Amino acid sequence: MDPISHPNTPFQDAVRTMLGTVDPDPTREGLRDTPRRVEKAFQFYTHGHSLDPRKVIGDALFESETDEMVLVKDIELYSMCEHHLAPFFGKAHVAYLPRGKIVGLSKIARVLDVFARRLQVQERLTQQVAHALQEVLQPHGVGVIVEASHLCMMMRGVQKQNSYTVTSCLLGTFRSDERTRAEFLALARPSR
């Protein structure tokens, strides 16, 4: 590889140092370009830090008279645990009760990605998605449930292969009205 066309960055130097501590031959062919690939991968894994959920939703807000629950279920998510830099992945179930406005359904998944594509903990991710939708849509309420498996628990530490974590955030009517909460929880019942 030509060093002029691919200059080293501080990130790549750090990866190179790390490889030197974990591999007996960090200069072997398979690892030569790893620092650049890891930097590029981490830029993708964490690009959510540069995204604004309002801009992601953009003009995909529409006037609507419906006030019935809108639920998007089983939205895939991939994120990186900020404690171990290990992936966690799973599904989110996101619902809201419209108050004069609905949002394009794909935008709900995009808002999830804004927060999942960051160094993250699942608990905060769940709350950030709910609060962002509440702020932008101003609905009667928002409910978010995230189910995820964490490689930091599966590959290391306790090594529990079949465990997964469920977090929720309920805002507005989802929190204050027992019937709304029960309907959401029944519809979003984990599918595992």
Per the listing, tokens 């935008």 go with 107
Could you confirm whether 152 is annotated as catalytic?
A: yes
Q: Let me know if 82 is a catalytic residue.
A: yes
Q: Which of 6, 47, 49, 83 is catalytic?
A: 83
Active site residue 120: no
Return all residues near 83 (Cβ < 8 A) that are at least 6 apart. 121, 152
Active site residue 6: no
Q: Residue 26 in contact with residue 16, Cβ under 8 Å? A: yes
The catalytically annotated residue of 93, 134, 150, 183 is 150
Catalytic residue among 39, 131, 138, 152: 152
Active site residue 131: no
Q: Which of 122, 134, 140, 183 is catalytic?
A: 122
49 is catalytic: no
Which listed residue (76, 82, 123, 135) is catalytic? Answer: 82
Active-site residue (options: 81, 120, 169, 183): 81
12 is an active site residue: no
CB within 8 Å of 145: residues ≥ 6 apart: 92, 93, 126, 166, 167, 168, 185, 188, 190
Residues that are catalytic = 81-84, 122, 150, 152
